[in-house]
Every structure is written in structure tokens, then in C-alpha cells.
Amino acid sequence: MIDANTIETLTKALSDRLPAELTAMKEEVENNFKSILQQQFAKLDLVTREEFDAQNAVLIRTRVKLEALEKTLADLTNCKN
């Protein structure tokens, strides 16, 4: 999930771009922006960088093991011939 600081930053950036006539409603608009952003990011089913990096490390270890097993299998197959 995307962190709260990122949502706050996006909310502030959006509200800063509002026309001057809407500045009186700034707090309400910011709350609406924040709510919409949280809902939309939740729908995207995002993962954090830490989760991504952890899964990437698992994938790399698995690939190394697979390559070792493939080499062992190839060596065993060549020994039988």
C-alpha cells in the first residue's frame, strides 16, 4: 500500500492548484482529495518497495537453485550416456 506521506503530498499538490475562488473550501477539498486518492490506490493493489524487494530476492534465490538443479540434472544425464 502507498504510504500516508505520499498521499498527503499529492493532496497538498492538488489543493495548491485550486482556483483562488475555492481556497475558502480548501480543507474540505483536501479531505475529498485524500479520500479519493486512498480509494484509488487501494484498488490498484500496490505493494511497497520493501515487499517488492523481498519477493525479488526470493525469486533470485529460486533462480540460482533452479540453475544448479538443471546443471546437476545435465551432469547426471551425461554420465549415463
- Please report, for residues 20, 53, 55, 61, 65, the alpha-carbon distance to residue 8 in angstroms, rounded to integers and kept in the order given: 21, 24, 28, 37, 43
Confidence band, pLDDT 50/70/90 cuts, at residue 67: very high
- For residue 80, how far is the Cα from the chain centroid? 48
What is the three-class DSSP state of 45? Answer: coil
**Burial of residue 19 (number of CB atoms within 10 Å: 0-12, 13-18, 19+):** exposed
* pLDDT tens digits along 7-40: 888 888 888 888 877 777 878 888 888 899 888 8
This model's pTM is above 0.75: no
Q: Where are the domains of the chain?
A: 1-46, 48-81
CA–CA separation, 44 vs 52, rounded Å?
15
